[in-house]
């Protein structure tokens, strides 16, 4: 299987700040056309399209054509994987903070 046929990793997709900003913009609305997304960045339409393509490969963005216009919307479901991963470490930190508090109480 070649790289173009493989689904892009969600972690890789959100690693870039531009793509995270695109997701944030799309979270605030039902959908946006490419030209409205492009004006939010200091880059051209082609560059924004490439970022959207990566998000689409990861399943984070869905697009639809309306005439000559392409509109994009957020599909947040793949972000659940990241939420689950971070939640595991949240428990780790809570446990360590409790231990630290106990240690500090003993020092008093």
DSSP 75: -
Whether 9 and 61 share a structural domain: yes
pLDDT of 83-104, one tens digit each? 998 988 888 888 889 988 988 8
Whether 60 and 89 share a structural domain: no
Rounded-to-integer distance, Cα 54 and Cα 22, Å: 11
Output 95 or 75, whichever has higher pLDDT.
75
Over 60: is that where the pLDDT of 73 sits? yes
pLDDT, mean of residues 59-80:
96
| Residue 87 buriedness (CB in 10 A; 0-12 / 13-18 / 19+) | exposed
Task: Tell me if 41 sits within 8 A of 48, measured CB to CB.
Answer: yes
Whether 41 and 65 share a structural domain: yes
Output 105 or 6, whichever has higher pLDDT.
105
Over 80: is that where the pLDDT of 66 sits? yes
Q: Which domain holds residue 29?
A: 3-77
* Domain total in the chain: 2
Any idea which of 64-68, 79-83, 90-94 has the lowest mean pLDDT? Answer: 90-94
Whether 84 and 34 share a structural domain: no
pLDDT, mean of residues 1-14:
68
Whether 39 and 65 share a structural domain: yes
SS3 63: strand
pLDDT, mean of residues 49-62:
97
Whether 42 and 95 share a structural domain: no
Whether 37 and 50 share a structural domain: yes
């Amino acid at each position: 299987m070649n790289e173009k046929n493989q689904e892009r990793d969600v972690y890789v997709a959100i690693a870039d700040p531009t793509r995270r900003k695109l997701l944030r913009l799309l979270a605030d609305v039902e959908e946006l056309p490419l030209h409205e997304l492009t004006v939010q960045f200091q880059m051209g339409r082609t560059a924004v399209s490439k970022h959207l393509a990566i998000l689409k490969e990861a399943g984070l963005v869905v697009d639809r054509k309306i005439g000559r216009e392409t509109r994009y919307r957020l599909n947040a479901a793949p972000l659940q994987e990241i939420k689950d991963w971070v939640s595991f470490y949240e428990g780790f930190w809570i446990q360590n903070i409790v231990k630290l508090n106990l240690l500090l109480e003993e020092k008093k």
